[in-house]
């Protein structure tokens, strides 16, 4: 998704931009950290753009949160600042004479991959500005460097999903496009409260270390549902897919990564006719994802969820990529 907006033969007026979109995890959050498979969908309706331009002086960032030299940026911008510094380093460019502007709307801290998307757009935008191609592995490594600052060590699922153009299966660093027989329509509903991925990941690690209450069995259970979900998507069996989502929400609750607001939205979605619903992303805040019976009923479901307390709702469809290319 790299787009060069305009290039002048004059170094001083170089300008280039790149975009990235949000992602939503359908199955496998947390269990993916322990080598289980995960399924994620691109959310093309939520995207952001990073524009890089030449401006003499220190490296600067311009965003809704802060505009100024990255050396003085608040700690909240540590991940984008890392993406800028690491990309310049990878391209053997001096850390000067560059301004990176971020425009766009992926709500932060909601499990929708905003930090990975920002890092993806920044690194691709700077590479385009420098007139260089970023190979897939380098792009991934740069996103992961920023993700380490945002969330601590990350599985790499988000970094892969924000650049995918079709549903993906991710396992232990490997990614592949998932076949989807019949488009499935989902509603993402936001509790309005930021999630706590880092804390939730640490809590699961602690449970596993103590091996209390069959935690390994819960991880295995999520992995089994994820594998079943792949088959459901390939066969177009949405009722079965929905039941698996609701079962996985229960398993994630047992892992202590849900909370009252997430549970309430899941219950509302099921009460309003969703085929299944679960939290998505790191949990303890952020969003749920619910499977609508049909594309037509998704609008209604989104409206009802907003009435019963969701701060926002978005509709996303899982379908094979239109151009048939791999993720
Ligand atoms: C966060 O979007 C997903 C988690 O599984 C963490 C990770 O994959 O690194 C909770």
Percent of the chain exceeding pLDDT 70 equals: 93
Q: Whose CA is nearest to atom 2 of ligand 1?
A: 281
DSSP 34: G
Average pLDDT of the residues of the chain: 93
**Average pLDDT rounded to a whole number, residues 112-136:** 96
The two structure tokens encoding residue 252: 């994630």
Query: Which pLDDT does position 167 carry in this prediction?
Result: 97
As a whole number of angstroms, the distance between CA 89 and CA 41 comes to 31
Query: Which pLDDT does position 152 carry in this prediction?
Result: 84
Whole-structure pTM value: 0.92
The two structure tokens encoding residue 31: 């269990």
Higher pLDDT, 282 or 327: 282
Name residue 3's beta-bridge partners.
17
Ligand 1: centre distance to CA 99 (Å): 30
Alpha helices in 18-156 (DSSP H): 78-90, 114-129, 136-151
Task: Scan for tokens 């791999």, then name that residue.
Answer: 326
As a whole number of angstroms, the distance between CA 294 and CA 120 comes to 32
Query: Which pLDDT does position 96 carry in this prediction?
Result: 96
Is the CB of 31 inside a 6 Å radius of any atom of ligand 1?
no
Say if residues 179 and 147 touch (Cβ distance below 8 Å): no
pLDDT digits (tens, 9 = 90+) for 182-201: 999 999 999 999 999 999 99
Ligand 1: centre distance to CA 46 (Å): 19
Query: Which pLDDT does position 6 carry in this prediction?
Result: 42
The two structure tokens encoding residue 91: 């391209």
From the CA of 155, give the closest atom in ligand 1. 9
From the CA of 158, give the closest atom in ligand 1. 2
Q: Whose CA is nearest to atom 10 of ligand 1?
A: 282
Is the CB of 281 inside a 6 Å radius of any atom of ligand 1?
yes
Please work out, in degrees rounded to the nearest 5, the angle formed at the alpha carbon of residue 239 by the alpha carbons of 234 and 245.
85
From the CA of 31, give the closest atom in ligand 1. 5
From the CA of 157, give the closest atom in ligand 1. 8
Is the CB of 219 inside a 6 Å radius of any atom of ligand 1?
no
Is the CB of 29 inside a 6 Å radius of any atom of ligand 1?
yes
From the CA of 151, give the closest atom in ligand 1. 9
The two structure tokens encoding residue 226: 């994820």
Quote the crossing angle between the two packed helices 78-90 and 114-129, to the nearest 10°.
Answer: 30
Q: Could you write out the DSSP letters of every residue in 236-302?
A: T-HHHHHHHHHHHHHHHHHTT---HHHHHHHHHHHHTT-SEEEEESS-SSSEEEEE-SSHHHHHHHH
Is the CB of 51 inside a 6 Å radius of any atom of ligand 1?
no
pLDDT digits (tens, 9 = 90+) for 197-207: 999 999 999 99
Pocket test for ligand 1, best of 23, 26, 27, 32 (most atoms within 8 A of CB): 32
Query: Which pLDDT does position 326 carry in this prediction?
Result: 38
Say if residues 294 and 302 touch (Cβ distance below 8 Å): no
User: For the domain bounded by 179-323, which CATH number is listed?
Assistant: 3.30.70.890
Q: Whose CA is nearest to atom 8 of ligand 1?
A: 155
Ligand 1: centre distance to CA 171 (Å): 12
Is the CB of 22 inside a 6 Å radius of any atom of ligand 1?
no
Task: Scan for tokens 């151009």, then name that residue.
Answer: 323
Query: Which pLDDT does position 264 carry in this prediction?
Result: 97
Query: Which pLDDT does position 3 carry in this prediction?
Result: 44
From the CA of 283, give the closest atom in ligand 1. 10
Is the CB of 125 inside a 6 Å radius of any atom of ligand 1?
no
Residues whose CB is less than 8 angstroms from the CB of residue 304 and which lie 6 or more positions away in sequence, other chains included = 268, 272
Residue 12's pLDDT band, with cuts at 50, 70 and 90, is low
Residue 9's pLDDT band, with cuts at 50, 70 and 90, is very low
Higher pLDDT, 308 or 248: 248
Percent of the chain exceeding pLDDT 90 equals: 90
Whether the per-residue pLDDT at 141 is higher than 50: the answer is: yes
As a whole number of angstroms, the distance between CA 15 and CA 186 comes to 37
H-run or E-run covering 45 = strand 38-54
Ligand 1: centre distance to CA 225 (Å): 17
Instruction: Write the Ramachandran bin of 139: left for phi over 0, alpha for psi from -120 to 50, otherwise beta.
Output: alpha
User: Structurally, what CATH architecture does the domain formed by 4-171 represent?
Assistant: 2-Layer Sandwich (3.30)
Whether the per-residue pLDDT at 251 is higher than 80: the answer is: yes
Whether the per-residue pLDDT at 8 is higher than 60: the answer is: no
As a whole number of angstroms, the distance between CA 23 and CA 106 comes to 10
Q: Where are the domains of the chain?
A: 4-171, 179-323
| C-alpha 306: how far from chain center | 22
Say if residues 54 and 9 touch (Cβ distance below 8 Å): no
Whether the per-residue pLDDT at 11 is higher than 60: the answer is: no
């Amino acid at each position: 998704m790299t787009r060069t907006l305009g290039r002048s033969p004059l170094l001083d007026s170089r300008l280039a931009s790149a975009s990235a979109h949000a992602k939503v995890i359908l199955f496998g959050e947390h269990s993916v950290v322990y080598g289980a498979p995960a399924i994620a969908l691109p959310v093309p309706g939520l995207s952001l753009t990073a524009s890089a331009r030449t401006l003499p002086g220190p490296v600067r960032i311009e965003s809704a949160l802060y505009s100024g030299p990255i050396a003085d940026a608040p700690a909240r911008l540590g991940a984008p600042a890392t993406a800028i510094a690491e990309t310049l380093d990878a391209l053997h460019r001096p850390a000067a004479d560059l301004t990176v502007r971020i425009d766009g709307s992926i709500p932060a801290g909601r499990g929708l991959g905003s930090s990975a998307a920002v890092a993806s757009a920044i690194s691709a935008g700077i590479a385009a500005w420098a007139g260089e191609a970023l190979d897939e592995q380098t792009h991934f490594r740069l996103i992961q460097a920023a993700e380490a600052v945002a969330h601590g060590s990350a599985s790499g699922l988000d970094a892969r999903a924000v650049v995918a153009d079709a549903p993906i299966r991710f396992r232990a660093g490997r990614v592949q496009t998932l076949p989807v027989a019949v488009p499935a329509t989902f509603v993402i509903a936001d509790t309005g409260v930021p999630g706590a991925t880092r804390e939730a990941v640490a809590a699961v690690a602690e449970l596993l270390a103590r091996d209390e209450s069959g935690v390994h069995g819960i991880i295995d259970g999520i992995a089994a549902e994820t594998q079943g979900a792949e088959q459901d998507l390939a066969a177009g069996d949405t009722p079965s897919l929905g039941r698996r989502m609701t079962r996985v929400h229960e398993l994630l609750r047992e892992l202590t990564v849900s909370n009252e607001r997430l549970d309430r939205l899941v219950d509302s979605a099921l009460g309003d006719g969703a085929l299944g619903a679960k939290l998505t992303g790191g949990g303890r805040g952020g969003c749920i994802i619910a499977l609508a019976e049909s594309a037509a009923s998704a609008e209604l479901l989104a409206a009802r969820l907003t009435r019963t307390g969701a701060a926002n709702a978005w509709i996303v469809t899982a379908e094979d990529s239109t151009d048939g290319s791999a993720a």
